[in-house]
Amino acid sequence: MNPFIETAPSGKQFVSKKVSLNRVMLAKLPLYGIDDAAEGKIAFDIFSTWAIINFIKANAPKYGIDISGYADTKLPVFLNEGLQSSSLKIKNFCRYVAIHFGNRLGLILLTLKTGLPQNRAARQEWNDEHWEYFKNLKTFILCGGLASGRLGLVFKEQIAYVFDSANVKPYDIVLFESGFLTGVLGAAALAKQPGSVNLVFDFGQTNIKRALIKKDAKDGSLIAKVYAYDSIPSINMWEVYDDAEVKHKEAVQLHAFLKKAICDTYREAEQTYPELSNEIIISIANYVADGVISPALSGYEKLRLLGENYAELLSEELSGNLHRIIKVKLIHDGTATGLYFKDYKNAMCVTLGTAFGSGFPEIKI
Per-residue model confidence as pLDDT tens digits over 175-213: 987 656 788 889 999 998 999 999 999 998 888 999 999
Q: How many C-beta atoms lie closer than 10 Å to residue 174's C-beta?
A: 16
Is the domain of 190 the same as that of 303? yes
Domain of 20: which CATH number?
3.30.420
pTM (2 d.p.): 0.87
Instruction: Answer yes or no: is 117 within a domain.
Output: yes
From the list 331, 340, 287, the residue with the least C-alpha distance to 181 is: 340
Q: How many domains does the chain fold into? A: 2
Is pLDDT of 298 > 90?
no
76 falls within a domain: yes
Co-location of 85 and 219 in the same domain: no
Say if residue 67 is in the same domain as residue 206.
no
Same domain, yes or no, for 248 and 328? yes
Query: How many beta carbons lie within 10 A of that of residue 165, not counting itself?
Result: 15
Q: What is the pLDDT of residue 151?
A: 95
Does some domain include residue 300? yes
Structural domain including 251 reads 182-340
Q: What is the pLDDT of residues 35-80, one digit of tens each?
A: 999 999 999 999 999 999 999 999 999 999 999 999 998 999 999 9
Q: Do both 79 and 190 map to the same domain?
A: no
Asked whether residue 361 is domain-assigned, the answer is: no
Shared domain check, 127 and 36: yes
Q: Do residue 72 and residue 134 come from a single domain?
A: yes
Residues 229 and 292 in one domain: yes
Domain-located, residue 148: yes
Mean pLDDT over all residues of the chain?
A: 93
Residue 25 domain flag: yes
Q: What is the mean pLDDT of residues 329-338?
A: 92
158 & 243 share domain: no
Evaluate if residue 239 carries a pLDDT over 70.
no
45 and 128 within one domain:
yes
Residue 238: predicted pLDDT: 74
* Start-to-end Cα distance in the chain: 16
Q: For residues 334-362, b (16+ Cβ closer than 10 Å) or e, as one string?
A: bbbbbbbbbebeebbbbbbbbbbbbbbbb
